[in-house]
Structure 1
Amino acid sequence: MHDVVIVGAGPVGLLLACELGLRGCSVLVLEREPEPGSPWRAAPLGMRGLFPASVQALHRRGLAEPLLDTPGVPGLGRPGGAGHFAGIVLDAANVDIDALPFRLPSTVPEVVMTTLEAVETVLSERAVKLGVEIRYGVSISSVTQDDETVVVGDGTDEYAARWVVGCDGGRSAVRKLAGFDFAGTEPTFTGYVMLATVADPGQLAPGFTLTPAGMYVHMPTTGHIGMMDFDGGAFDRSQEPARDHLQAVLRRVSGLDVTLTDVRLASSFTDRAKQATTYRRGRVLLAGDAAHIMSPLGGQGLNTGIGDAVNLGWKLAATVNNQAPQGLLDTYHHERHPVGAWALDWTRAQVAIMRPDPHAQAIQAVVRDLLATRDGTTYVLRKMSGLSARYDLGSEQPLVGHNAPDFCLLDGTRLADLMQDGRGVVLDFSSEQRLEGPAAAWQRELRYAAGPAENDFGLGAVLIRPDGVVAWAGDRVPDQDSFERAVRRWF
């Protein structure tokens, strides 16, 4: 029997497997696809943007560098290098970088364009090195649990574990079979993505184009075309869209007499926005698209899923290893459910101003003007980056609950270097009083580093959880008692 069975070998499932494997858990990953890789996960259709919070999460585990070494994965530098809100492209020159919260320079780019294939390759290689077993071609058809174990089956074989995590996408079998409630809003549009050849490609404008009937995206160099058709989600998504249908939609949305001469790949999606009402039922948990689905507008799906994985991983590992304080695993739902709810609303807001009706179009014009300002662009990039997200950890200290910046001590030691083994970190910047006593008592779970930093934000010391979230921060004279209470809460 394994400690944890993860259903789904996408980026979320594989990153979660790495987090668990790093802490010595026995992990089995089951994937319904017969083998890794597909045209939908490679460029150009598999291109995705990783925002700063996600890049930092990977960097803290030594995963950003091998990802950046993958051919065709460019680092984009600072936030604002790419992105849009409701099809309105953001101008990087309008971003006030200094307004982004608790930002420090890092040794990796803050924004990375990559492919699902590249992310999954890097993560699967790391997972295997950590002892994780990955099996392909396994479609789960049953989930049963009692107080001690969970058993998932595919009709032929059964797989028992102490815990099961569904990371198997928007149509999650685990979510349905385990009886999770899935609440939200129904679709207003059908979206299409395809690799196609256009008879006269010059007819279509490159990039994002908003029209009175919806939106289309045209990447002439790759043949990548996307469309949004506000049909109430009427298209039957159980079938692959035919060329004639795609051409009719493209003509309607673009308002142009455009002709598709060849369609090599095509698929559809909607803006259905739903979320599991709880992320845990007994010994079954959900993460990524299995826990929340939304339209791809703004690129929040993958980034929200990465946040789920790094939040859940260390908490579930501590629970498996009988090292978790009371209620630790329950904080996964309490912290991540509001983030998922925000992501759904973020995409709903974009859809609302893209609708082909006079009211939506009027609001869109106002939003377009706001996004042309420095404050407007910075606001959107701040939200998209993930750096503005803050968990309520019961502290008024501004940094507590935020993703920790990549602190760098004057001796060259960086926070990301200290976090690669999956432990929490104590950074002691104060020369007046040392935290060596308490830190030593918790050295199995914490790494300790002392010395002045290039920028300490006026702090004497910080306690950082294994997921990179600041759990405690003190002034120039660290408060030993409050530090001890913070450690005992999380470790």
Structure 2
Amino acid sequence: MHDVVIVGAGPVGLFLACELGLSGCSVLVLEKESEPDSPWRTQPLGMRGLFGFSVGAFYRRGLLDELRSASFTLEGPGAPGRSDASSRPRMVGHFAGMVLDPAKVDTAALPFRLPSPAPDFTMITLRALESLLSERAVKLGVDIRRGVTVDAVVQDEDHVVVSSGEAGFEARWGVGCDGGRSAVRRLAGFEFTGTEPEFTGYTVLGTLADPEKLRPGINLTPTGMYIRMAIDGHLGMMDFDGGAFDRTRRPTREHLQTVLRRVSGTDVTLSDVRLASTFTDRAKQATAYRRGRVLLAGDAAHIHSPLGGQGLNTGLGDAVNLGWKLAATVRGHAPDGLLDTYGQERRPIGAQVLDWSRAQVSIMRPDQHGQAIQGVVRDLLGTRDGTTYVFEKVSGASIRYDLGDPHPLVGRNAPNFRLTEGTCLGELMRDGLGVVLDFSADRRLSGPAASWRNRLRYATGTPADDLGLGAVLVRPDGTVAWAGDHAFTPDGFESAASRWFGRPQA
């Protein structure tokens, strides 16, 4: 019997498997696809953007170099360079089809930002990302089995059995990371609620007879939106038909050309279609992320439109948050209620992303109300404050969990503190432990920190910038669990450490 069985070998399931494997858990990953390669996972159709919150997670696990090697820019091979606290991001994206100017991001206004080798944004294909994570998972002892279709999930007080035909896979815990049409979510009885779609979206790989008739990039029009990608023949379209076409018929060349002409306002000709798929802005979320011994992460827990590129990043955030908590539970040293904090922290983030998506759809509506709102929003996005606000949202810089501590840094992603000898916080987190950084002169934390050996790493020194702090406690997922100013007391630290890492060791 395994400690954990994960259904779904996409980036979310694989990152979670790596986190669990890093902590010494026995992990089985089941994937219904027999082969990892498909045109939908490679360039150009499989291109995805990773924002700073996600890139930081790879950095903290020592995978930044591998991520850079697998990443690319739209102009060609290569990854974005170092992210400096004062430098502007190279790409911000768009909000409701309105492209944002990176020069308008006010980095000085971003909370607790310090220099980091992790870029604010990078492009990668799903195939490259999954390959990187699969290789990592296998090195950590994870068992990945492909071509397995799950048709039953049964649990009792002690274990979970995931079945495929006559084969049953038993584990102490089960996690569904199997996408928006999750079998685990349905079979385990999770409730999934939300809003129905307003548009049908299309992803197309084909040939345009007259590409000069379409403007490159993202184009919001009075009748919808179209995207002409940097790679010729790669198109995206959004048609406000109430989601009527999605999953109902095969998108023919004639239908796709009709939609493209309508949303672009041109008589462009789509001469052939090699691949095409549909999607919608349906926005739904599981009412709970855990039922007994079964949990959900990624699109299995929440679905929404791809506007703003938040789906993959939100799913990776789920995996980062869940991994260390489930591992501590498996290993028996988790404090009471630790696993429940996964849903308590991540479900509100998922709800925010769904509302972020809904807001964009409302602004894009091809009617007079939508057009009026667009004008107002364009004016706001023309300001530094407006663009910076959007960047904070899409990059993850605004994420803050409510941990019940009023300190403005607690609950946020930890800044990459750099000690005088050159060691950075990110480099101290590669083994998946929590970290105590003690900047204080009298080193009063060294004794208490030792009580959580094998769960916390203790480091001391004078940082290049301490942000006015005396010490910080950082959870394995990179979240600041406690922060003390120059007059801190050890009692505050010990209370936070016990809350997240259990009872101190003798």
TM over 0.5: yes
Given that residues 194 and 267 in structure 1 are in contact (C-alpha distance below 8 angstroms), is that contact kept between their aligned partners in structure 2? yes
Equivalent residue number for residue 256 of structure 2: 246
TM-score of the superposed pair, with normalisation by structure 2: 0.95
Matches within 5 A, 1:219-234: 219=229, 221-234=231-244
Equivalent residue number for residue 261 of structure 1: 271
In structure 2, the CA distance between the partners of 1:82 and 1:240, relative to structure 1 (3 Å rule), is: farther
Candidates 71, 75, 80, aligned match of 1:75: 80
For residues 439 and 127 of structure 2, the distance between their equivalents in structure 1, rounded to whole angstroms, comes to 40
Q: Deviations over 1:253-305 (max 9, x none)?
A: 11111111111111000000000000000000000000000000001101100
For residues 454 and 239 of structure 1, the distance between their equivalents in structure 2, rounded to whole angstroms, comes to 59
Given that residues 205 and 273 in structure 2 are in contact (C-alpha distance below 8 angstroms), is that contact kept between their aligned partners in structure 1? yes
For residues 121 and 236 of structure 1, the distance between their equivalents in structure 2, rounded to whole angstroms, comes to 30
Matches within 5 A, 1:32-431: 32-70=32-70, 72=72, 74-75=79-80, 77=83, 78-79=88-89, 81-219=91-229, 221-237=231-247, 239-431=249-441
Q: Deviations over 1:411-442 (max 9, x none)?
A: 11110110000000000001133311011111
User: What letter is aligned with 2:79?
Assistant: P
Q: Deviations over 1:391-426 (max 9, x none)?
A: 111111110000001110011111011000000000
Q: Deviations over 1:172-204 (max 9, x none)?
A: 000001010001000000000011111100001
Q: Deviations over 1:201-252 (max 9, x none)?
A: 0001100111111000002533210000000000141543111111111111
Query: Could you say what secondary structure the match of 1:320 adopts?
Result: helix
User: What letter is aligned with 2:42?
Assistant: A
Identity percentage of aligned residues: 69
For residues 168 and 315 of structure 1, the distance between their equivalents in structure 2, rounded to whole angstroms, comes to 20
Given that residues 246 and 278 in structure 2 are in contact (C-alpha distance below 8 angstroms), is that contact kept between their aligned partners in structure 1? no
User: What letter is aligned with 2:318?
Assistant: D
In structure 2, the CA distance between the partners of 1:255 and 1:102, relative to structure 1 (3 Å rule), is: same
For residues 390 and 89 of structure 1, the distance between their equivalents in structure 2, rounded to whole angstroms, comes to 26
Given that residues 80 and 91 in structure 1 are in contact (C-alpha distance below 8 angstroms), is that contact kept between their aligned partners in structure 2? no
Kindly state the Cα deviation for residue 58 of structure 1 after the two structures are TM-superposed: 1.0
Does residue 446 of the first structure (1) align with residue 456 of the second (2)? Answer: yes
Query: Could you say what secondary structure the match of 2:364 adopts?
Result: coil
Equivalent residue number for residue 7 of structure 1: 7
For residues 120 and 219 of structure 2, the distance between their equivalents in structure 1, rounded to whole angstroms, comes to 27
Given that residues 200 and 246 in structure 2 are in contact (C-alpha distance below 8 angstroms), is that contact kept between their aligned partners in structure 1? no
| Bigger mean CA offset, 200-209 vs 111-120 | 111-120
Q: Deviations over 1:341-400 (max 9, x none)?
A: 000000100000101110111001110111011111011001111011111111111100
For residues 54 and 71 of structure 2, the distance between their equivalents in structure 1, rounded to whole angstroms, comes to 20
In structure 2, the CA distance between the partners of 1:57 and 1:17, relative to structure 1 (3 Å rule), is: same
For residues 464 and 221 of structure 1, the distance between their equivalents in structure 2, rounded to whole angstroms, comes to 42
In structure 2, the CA distance between the partners of 1:461 and 1:15, relative to structure 1 (3 Å rule), is: same
For residues 475 and 256 of structure 1, the distance between their equivalents in structure 2, rounded to whole angstroms, comes to 61
For residues 219 and 149 of structure 1, the distance between their equivalents in structure 2, rounded to whole angstroms, comes to 47
Given that residues 246 and 280 in structure 2 are in contact (C-alpha distance below 8 angstroms), is that contact kept between their aligned partners in structure 1? no
User: What letter is aligned with 1:5?
Assistant: V
Query: Could you say what secondary structure the match of 2:337 adopts?
Result: coil
Equivalent residue number for residue 436 of structure 1: 446
Equivalent residue number for residue 26 of structure 2: 26
Q: Which runs of 4+ in 1 moved over 6 A?
A: none
For residues 43 and 100 of structure 1, the distance between their equivalents in structure 2, rounded to whole angstroms, comes to 33
For residues 456 and 249 of structure 2, the distance between their equivalents in structure 1, rounded to whole angstroms, comes to 52
Kindly state the Cα deviation for residue 155 of structure 1 after the two structures are TM-superposed: 1.3
User: What letter is aligned with 2:95?
Assistant: F
Q: Deviations over 1:19-67 (max 9, x none)?
A: 0000000000001111112111111111111111111111000122101
Structure 1 gaps of 5+ residues are: none
Kindly state the Cα deviation for residue 71 of structure 1 after the two structures are TM-superposed: 6.0
User: What letter is aligned with 2:268?
Assistant: V
Q: Deviations over 1:425-483 (max 9, x none)?
A: 00000113331101111111000000110111110000000000000000113311111
For residues 309 and 125 of structure 1, the distance between their equivalents in structure 2, rounded to whole angstroms, comes to 17
Given that residues 70 and 129 in structure 2 are in contact (C-alpha distance below 8 angstroms), is that contact kept between their aligned partners in structure 1? no
Kindly state the Cα deviation for residue 329 of structure 1 after the two structures are TM-superposed: 0.2
Given that residues 191 and 226 in structure 1 are in contact (C-alpha distance below 8 angstroms), is that contact kept between their aligned partners in structure 2? yes
For residues 92 and 249 of structure 2, the distance between their equivalents in structure 1, rounded to whole angstroms, comes to 33
For residues 426 and 439 of structure 1, the distance between their equivalents in structure 2, rounded to whole angstroms, comes to 7
Query: Could you say what secondary structure the match of 1:69 adopts?
Result: helix
For residues 483 and 236 of structure 1, the distance between their equivalents in structure 2, rounded to whole angstroms, comes to 52
For residues 485 and 317 of structure 1, the distance between their equivalents in structure 2, rounded to whole angstroms, comes to 21
Kindly state the Cα deviation for residue 70 of structure 1 after the two structures are TM-superposed: 2.0
Equivalent residue number for residue 17 of structure 1: 17
Query: Could you say what secondary structure the match of 1:365 adopts?
Result: helix
User: What letter is aligned with 2:499?
Assistant: R
TM-score of the superposed pair, with normalisation by structure 1: 0.98
For residues 121 and 104 of structure 1, the distance between their equivalents in structure 2, rounded to whole angstroms, comes to 30
Paired residues, number: 491
For residues 80 and 185 of structure 1, the distance between their equivalents in structure 2, rounded to whole angstroms, comes to 34
User: What letter is aligned with 2:218?
Assistant: F
For residues 219 and 324 of structure 1, the distance between their equivalents in structure 2, rounded to whole angstroms, comes to 47
Kindly state the Cα deviation for residue 109 of structure 1 after the two structures are TM-superposed: 1.6
| Bigger mean CA offset, 431-440 vs 66-75 | 66-75
User: What letter is aligned with 1:157?
Assistant: A
Given that residues 58 and 67 in structure 2 are in contact (C-alpha distance below 8 angstroms), is that contact kept between their aligned partners in structure 1? no
For residues 128 and 68 of structure 2, the distance between their equivalents in structure 1, rounded to whole angstroms, comes to 9
